[in-house]
Amino acid sequence: MTDAQKIAELLYPNITKTVEDYVKQYPPRNLNPNAEVTRLAPSPTGYIHIGQLFQVIANRAVSQKNNGIFYFRLEDTDSKREVAGAASAMPEVVQHFMPIDEGFYGFHKPEKGIYGPYVQSKRKEIYQAFAKELIAKGLAYPCFCDEASETLRDEEQKRLKVPTGYYGQWAKCRNLTYEQVKANIDAGKPYTIRIKANGDGHERMIHSDLLRGKISFPKNYVDYILVKSDGLALYHLAHVVDDTLMHTTVVCRGEEWLSSVPLHYQMFEYLGLPIPKYMHTALLLTKDEQTGNVRKISKRLDPWANVQYFIEKGYPSEAVVEYLLNIANSKFEPWRRANPTLPYTEYPFDPSNMSKSGAMFDIKKLDDVSKNIISRMNSEEMYERVLAWAQTYDTPFARLLEEKEEYAKQVFAMDRDGKPRPRKDITMWSEVKANCAYMFDLLYYVKDRHLDFEENISLKDTKAVLEEYLFEYDHNMDKQAWFDNMKKVARANGFAGEMKEYKENPSAFKGHITNVSTMVRVALTGSRQTPDLYEIQQVLGDARVRARLVETIRVLKLFIDKGQN
């Protein structure tokens, strides 16, 4: 037995399974030969970051192409960072936007798939088996240096202006004998496991990235820690082990990982395992509104950093996805224009035309995408979606919608169903209530609302017009007759029935048909901005139209009596 083998046995006497055993235990997946297996592997911080969602979209798109697999793995090897109990919500949030095929679905739910466990804290023995093999081969070793001596080393290296890190002459534990290791172990000293790097800082390697093409790096020369003193693997080891055993074919991850590619290659080589394909995507950034500088998206400064924000605001999930798809793939937008009704899942995503440079997150553009998506929905779909949102985020409104289902659908249908150019005034479900409040008596009281009449028309004239409009109002008129009637009312009160007449001789009139129309609009809804007035009246019904006119006239009288103009 070599010293290295003796050390391996000393450190891991209870680990009996070998790398080979595990490779056999998790046989290759039975998939279409072109199918790709991708994953999202977040740590359990409790929330899904918009950048992670961007990753989900890229990963999902890659796997979807040839019926591959997209799975969720929980990277909870760092208990310090963990937000207790928060992990379970993460897959659910992801699935609000994109389906997960396999893996971790929350601690209260069973895992799906035979390549688990998909939670890293449950894979300690597996990582240790891989570590043991590396140690036995002399490619990794235990290190007894403590944090204090590491800090010292770091400072000294900075002072000498040499690269920082545990390497070469600085790697004090690199060549300990079995006896030295045993003495330390017997003394109860904690230890980490480090890789024995074979790079010299000059020799180079080539990485071929799916997105970035060939990249040349110096081979890894730093003896990075693979296993922490608590026995749990660090990301680097976990990545190699898990993505090997779970048969990930494309490791699609953020650009921040690019610099650890040499380390990862080294581990695959040491273990004699095939290297997966890599794809390092650009990071999502933002432009700081205060300073105008480009910066990372911040949970503290950007409320939308946590994708829960979009769920709470009631953005349709497909709006967020399509916006991100827009950023991820430049060909998406023309495709969407050419295929306005197809679901985005039909889009043939091509990883090779992803942008290599980091994009600024632009919520204005997202709003536009969202408005367009909502404008394409009919009243039925609107009703279902708004209700589903309100049931969680606005229960009184949900109750109202349920009680008045048919009426609510009529409200949503205004300027929407059957219209070739529907309104685009809804960005998110949380806007709906305020947007149509005046259609519900429960949400709108004539006597309370602000009299938002036009400033240049006197209250007296307004009152006179509304009184006559009320007198002339016939709910059964068709649209043309109704509007002709309104013109009649306008003329009888000194307003121009046609805009053209007014423009020809403005001084001859108190105002024009638009002013009259606005009076009625404000009297009925309290707002100058509404869908088609005729449709509103039809949905409101004869009784309520009259009631609101009467009430408005009463309030106007009150103001006039008080001397207001």
Q: Which of residues 487-516 bind RNA (CB under 7 A)?
A: 499, 513-514
Residue type, 21: D
* CB nearer to RNA: pick between 24 and 503: 503
**Scanning residues 393 to 452, which ones bind RNA (CB under 7 A)?**
415, 421-425
Applying CB under 7 A, among 368, 417, 472, 551 the residue interacting with RNA is 368
Measured from the CB of residue 483, what is the shortest distance to RNA in angstroms?
5
Sort residue 88 into left (φ over 0), alpha (ψ -120 to 50) or beta. Answer: alpha
Q: Mark the segment that binds RNA (CB under 7 A) among 11-19, 108-116, 278-286, 438-446.
A: 278-286
Options 92-100, 122-130, 180-188, 361-369: segment touching RNA (CB under 7 A): 361-369
What is the nearest approach in angstroms of RNA to the Cβ of residue 224? 7
What is the spatial distance between Cα 59 and Cα 324, in angstroms, rounded to a whole number?
Answer: 13
Which one, 285 or 398, has the nearer CB to RNA? Answer: 285
Minimum CB separation from RNA for residue 32, in Å? 27
CA atoms lying within 13 Å on the CB side of residue 147 = 2
Which segment (122-130, 377-385, 470-478, 517-525) binds RNA by CB under 7 A?
517-525
Find the shortest distance in angstroms from Cβ 506 to RNA: 16
Sole residue written with tokens 């290599």: 356
Q: Which one of 22-30, 85-93, 281-289, 383-391 is the stretch in contact with RNA (CB under 7 A)?
A: 281-289
* Stretch of 266-274, 341-349, 396-404, 531-539 lying at the interface with RNA (CB under 7 A): 531-539
In 3D space, the residue among 446, 449, 453 whose CA is nearest the CA of residue 515 turns out to be 453
Q: Which is nearer to RNA, 138 or 165 (CB)?
A: 165
The count of other CB atoms within 10 Å of the CB of residue 314 is 23
- Contact between 529 and RNA by CB under 7 A: the answer reads yes
Q: Which H or E run includes 359? A: strand 359-360
CB of 199 to RNA, least distance (A): 11
CA 385, chain centre distance (Å): 18
The C-alpha atoms of residue 103 and residue 116 are separated, in whole angstroms, by: 7
Residues facing residue 496 across a β-bridge: 512
CB of 311 to RNA, least distance (A): 22
Q: Which two tokens stand for residue 427?
A: 């960005």
357-385: buried (b, 16+ CB within 10 Å) or exposed (e) per residue? ebbebebeebeebbbebbbebebeebbeb
Min dist. Cβ of residue 500 to RNA (A): 9
**Closer residue to RNA (CB): 359 or 550:** 359
Residue 111 and residue 118 in contact, taking contact as beta carbons nearer than 8 Å? yes
Out of 10, 205, 285, 437, point to the residue binding RNA (CB under 7 A).
Answer: 285
Cβ distance to RNA smaller for residue 368 or 551: 368
CB of 512 to RNA, least distance (A): 8
80 lines the binding site for RNA (CB under 7 A): yes
Do 291 and 301 contact (CB within 8 A), yes or no?
Answer: no
Q: How far is the CB of 221 from RNA (least distance, A)?
A: 10
Q: Which residues from 93-122 bind RNA, rule CB under 7 A?
A: none
- The minimum distance between CB 391 and RNA, in angstroms, equals 27
Smallest gap, in angstroms, from Cβ of residue 258 to RNA? Answer: 5
Complex with RNA: residue 18 or 45, whichever CB lies closer: 45
User: By CB under 7 A, is residue 339 in contact with RNA?
Assistant: no
The first and second tokens of residue 182, run together, are: 């045993």
Q: Which of 18, 43, 88, 538 binds RNA (CB under 7 A)?
A: 43
Q: Does 18 bind RNA (CB under 7 A)?
A: no
Work out the burial of residue 491: count CB atoms within 10 Å of its CB; fewer than 13 is exposed, 13-18 middle, 19 or more buried. middle
What amino acid occupies position 295? R
Q: What residue type is assigned to position 166 of the chain?
A: Y
Which one, of 281, 283, 310, lies nearest residue 296 by Cα? 283
Please answer whether residues 15 and 123 qualify as being in contact, where contact means their C-beta atoms are separated by less than 8 angstroms.
Answer: no
Select 295 or 399, whichever has its Cβ closest to RNA. Answer: 295
Structure tokens at 169: 């002459």
Task: Report how many residues bind RNA under the rule CB under 7 A.
Answer: 85
Query: In whole angstroms, how close is the CB of 328 to RNA at the nearest point?
Result: 8
Site for RNA in 179-218 (CB under 7 A): 190, 192, 212-213, 215-218
> CA distances (Å), 293 to each of 288, 290, 299, 355, 543, in order?
5, 8, 17, 21, 57
- Give the rounded distance of the alpha carbon of 20 from its chain centre: 39
What percent helix, strand, coil does the chain show, rounded to 5? Answer: 50, 10, 40
Q: State the minimum distance, in angstroms, from the CB of residue 81 to RNA.
A: 5
Among 169, 357, 456, 507, interactor with RNA by CB under 7 A: 357
Question: Which residues between 213 and 272 bind RNA (CB under 7 A)?
Answer: 213, 215-218, 222, 225, 228-230, 234-235, 255-260
HSE (CB half, 13 Å, CA atoms) of 139?
Answer: 17
Residue 534 binds to RNA (criterion: CB under 7 A): yes
By beta-carbon proximity to RNA, the closer residue of 77 and 248 is 77
Strand order in the sheet with 284-287: 294-296, 284-287, 359-360
User: Interacting stretch for RNA, rule CB under 7 A, among 104-112, 324-332, 376-384, 553-561?
Assistant: 324-332
Query: Is 538 one of the binding residues for RNA (CB under 7 A)?
Result: no
Between 423 and 557, whose beta carbon lies closer to RNA?
A: 423
**How far is the C-alpha of 38 from the C-alpha of 364, rounded, in Å?**
31
CB neighbours of residue 185 within 10 Å:
16
